[in-house]
Amino acid sequence: MREQVRCTRASLYEAQAELFHVLGHPVRIRVLEALQSGPIPVRELLTALDLEIEPSELSQQLAVLLGGGVVTVSRSGATAVYEVAGGDVAELLAVARRVSSVRLSGRSELSEQTHQSERSRPEAAS
């Protein structure tokens, strides 16, 4: 029984790592954020991203998200419409955005402190 619990935990950790790997690309995150407002046809998604990205690269990124179970696709004739697979993805993105904002803020503050200390240091005598 203990071994089964250990295997289940390991599988859960592997699944979580796989999810973070799926989310680990800026274009994929932008796609998911664009899809927060609802399903979007792939042609409109390309425009909504407001990135210089080739349709083939968007297609590759959508395939990763689809394979990871993070988005779903429905087809209406030749049009593919993508949407986020569940509300938990939106919550995860919101948390990631908050954590990232704090990290970036901390980096910015550290950089400013470094620049201030460099400016306040007396010049070394030549």
pLDDT given at position 28: 95
Q: Take residue 90 and report the two structure tokens written for it.
A: 């939106």
Model pTM above 0.85: no
pLDDT given at position 125: 46
pLDDT given at position 50: 81
Contact predicate 36/87, CB 8 Å: no
pLDDT given at position 126: 43
What is the overall mean pLDDT for the chain?
83
Strand order in the sheet with 40-41: 40-41, 79-84, 71-76
Which band of pLDDT confidence, cut at 50, 70 and 90, is reported for residue 6?
Answer: low
pLDDT tens-digit map of 68-119: 999 999 998 999 999 999 878 889 988 998 998 888 887 666 556 565 655 6
Contact predicate 64/20, CB 8 Å: no
